[in-house]
Structure 1
Amino acid sequence: MFVASFFFWTLMGFVLGLVMGAVPVGIAIGVIVGVVNWFVCTWSSEKFAIDLYDAELLDSEKAPGMNDMIRELSRDIGIDAPLLYAIPISAPNAFVVPRRDRGNVVVVTNGLTKHLNREEVQAVVTLMLIRLADKEAPSWSVASAIAGLPIYVACTGDWKNVLRKKLAVDRKTGLTIVERVMMAFLIVPCAIVLRIGYDHQSIAGADRATARLLGTHRDLYSALAKMEEHLPKTWWGRSYFNAATAPLFAIEPLASPETIAGLAPIWRFSQHLFGNMILSPSERRRLLSEAPVAEPLSGESVHV
């Protein structure tokens, strides 16, 4: 991840140097920022996603049932129970923030318990805990922070307001021409950083491990179907959602720019870099239905 951060920001510095007419100065700035970025993202990566989405801590007093569920499932999986946070989003979803030297975090949206029944919520929470149990999980939040900071800078509200006072906003993308150029430039290098930081086999295999633990794929299958049904159709460039955090979520929270003129080819190329790391809910349901479910990992189905 250090190498990824170093080269990513060095490339940014090179482009800055071309614009400034002083390439060595731009590269020097990129090298310094890349090293500093790696240190910041390594030591405080868990704060990036939590602060980005204004997550609120839910202790045992605020959500006793959910916390009890997490503790029991964590015990069956063999990990320490993570902290529980919530974010004010109506679509059902959840994401994890893996941390190496502190407690892990599971974040659920307000819509998770609203649109899913108890068994489906349990399946989604189990999926999140299975992902946290992966030994490489701490690198995921670091990768999301390293790739996400440039996207955050490009998408921050203050920056957008400054641009939109001077430039026209494209109706299809919701972006000015400067923002579209920045997005086009950032998508591929950010995808490369994420591909280095994430173990796509672990991400893809977590669904099957969840089905084995629960003794059935039925609940996760129906949960994915409902989550896809309520998935917002807005693409992430129109919101404060940060695309670099997408692999942390149970499913991608918003639509990708596959139909956005000027960004679609670049996005498809970046998705090719991911391989099978981020599958659509429908693809995951197909794989779940085709894979045989073995005996539960704990020897019996989990009932909370």
Structure 2
Amino acid sequence: MNYFRTALLLAALTAFFLVIGYLLGGRQGLVIALVVALGTNLFAYWNSDRLVLRMSNAHEAGPQEAPELYGMVQQLAQRAGLPMPRVYVIDEDQPNAFATGRSPEHAAIAVNTGLLRHLSREEVMGVLSHELGHVKNRDTLTMTVAATLSGAIGMLASFGFFFGGGRDENGRPVGNPILSILAMILAPIAASLIQMAISRSREYEADRMGAEISGHPEWLASALGRLHAGTQAIPNATAQANPGTAHLYIDNPLSAGGMASLFSTHPPMEERIARLRAMAAQAMPTASAPLRTRPGGSVPQTGGRGPWS
């Protein structure tokens, strides 16, 4: 049902984009909108991961640079049956993380240094499992397409504002001027609302998938509580400079303030935690052997600190 809803919302966003093009420029506007939609989506498909990582000032971390982090991602990726994604670190004190890439074979996971500093090892593994859930569900491509279409709608509305819409073959203005003005004002807002709906539905599914990958829903539940407290208290300068990337993070990085946090792209944290705790209460069985978080040892109690504390 979540996949159907996401497909429906993406179709609605694409159709809305074409309608706005028609309202602003008639048939010519429709053609321009179609070309822009195809161009932005092709660009996003091939370049979104590199662009997002560059905008976030992320630097790649291999087994030599971050052996603990790399080892955890490797262990969880094997457990999830996924190719090993590239691992990146962002020098931001706010605890947060995101995944990007057009497919599991071209995926990357980026974590803020604050995530490693403020969370326990088990909580970090819960977060990494969530991000791998996005990769497994191919959400990174879906949400990137949603973001690029939303941005293109805003660009198209601005184009119509500055150039006054289209004209027919006789030079007469096309369309109702009042509708065109309303489209210019409301189109970016409506596109953002659709993008929010897509992002929210995918977060719930990634939480569920992440709990299955780690086999410990309570790890992610505990991590989300700490993450939310951190995003409320610690600003994320990198995300504030690029608010278009906010929906990719596991928690809204703009929550510490500012107008960009007015429309949240994430579902209520209390609901996400409640769902995970319900899964933990059901003692969800795991398909594979118990996950170990320390070489040669058993899983320590949740809440302990990792070697980066």
TM-score by length of 2: 0.68
Does the CA contact (< 8 Å) of 2:77 and 2:132 recur in 1? yes
In 2, Cα distance between the equivalents of 1:38 and 1:58? 29
- Secondary structure at the residue paired with 1:231? helix
* 1:138 correspondence with 2:141: yes
Aligned position for 1:280: 268
In 1, Cα distance between the equivalents of 2:278 and 2:21? 47
In 1, Cα distance between the equivalents of 2:41 and 2:33? 12
User: What does residue range 183-222 of structure 1 map to in structure 2 within 5 Å?
Assistant: 185-193=187-195, 195=197, 200=201, 203-222=203-222
Q: List alignment gaps of at least 5 residues for structure 2.
A: 1-6, 158-182, 295-309
In 2, Cα distance between the equivalents of 1:56 and 1:215? 29
Does the CA contact (< 8 Å) of 1:93 and 1:108 recur in 2? yes
Does the CA contact (< 8 Å) of 2:88 and 2:108 recur in 1? yes
Change (3 A) 1:208 1:301: same
Cα displacement string for residues 185-210 of structure 1 (whole angstroms, at most 9, x for unaligned residues)? 413213325656x692x531332333
Moved more, 294-303 or 109-118: 294-303
In 1, Cα distance between the equivalents of 2:45 and 2:194? 18
Letter in 2 for 1:189: A
Aligned position for 1:299: 289
- Secondary structure at the residue paired with 2:225? helix
Does the CA contact (< 8 Å) of 1:217 and 1:289 recur in 2? yes
In 1, Cα distance between the equivalents of 2:185 and 2:52? 20
In 2, Cα distance between the equivalents of 1:66 and 1:235? 21
- Secondary structure at the residue paired with 2:106? coil
Aligned position for 1:165: none
Aligned position for 1:289: 277
* 1:62 correspondence with 2:26: no
Does the CA contact (< 8 Å) of 2:98 and 2:111 recur in 1? yes
Aligned position for 1:111: 114
Deviation, 1:97, is 0.4
User: What does residue range 120-269 of structure 1 map to in structure 2 within 5 Å?
Assistant: 120-135=123-138, 137-148=140-151, 185-193=187-195, 195=197, 200=201, 203-232=203-232, 239-243=240-244, 245-255=245-255, 267=263
Deviation, 1:286, is 1.4
Name the count of aligned residue pairs. Answer: 256
Does the CA contact (< 8 Å) of 1:147 and 1:194 recur in 2? no
Q: Which structure: larger Rg?
A: 2
Letter in 2 for 1:299: A
RMSD: 3.8
In 2, Cα distance between the equivalents of 1:124 and 1:88? 17
Q: What is the identity percentage for the equivalent residue pairs of Structure 1 and Structure 2?
A: 24
* 1:34 correspondence with 2:22: no
Does the CA contact (< 8 Å) of 2:203 and 2:267 recur in 1? no
Moved more, 76-85 or 224-233: 224-233
Query: Which residue of 45, 50, 57 maps to 1:47?
Result: 50
Change (3 A) 1:150 1:281: same
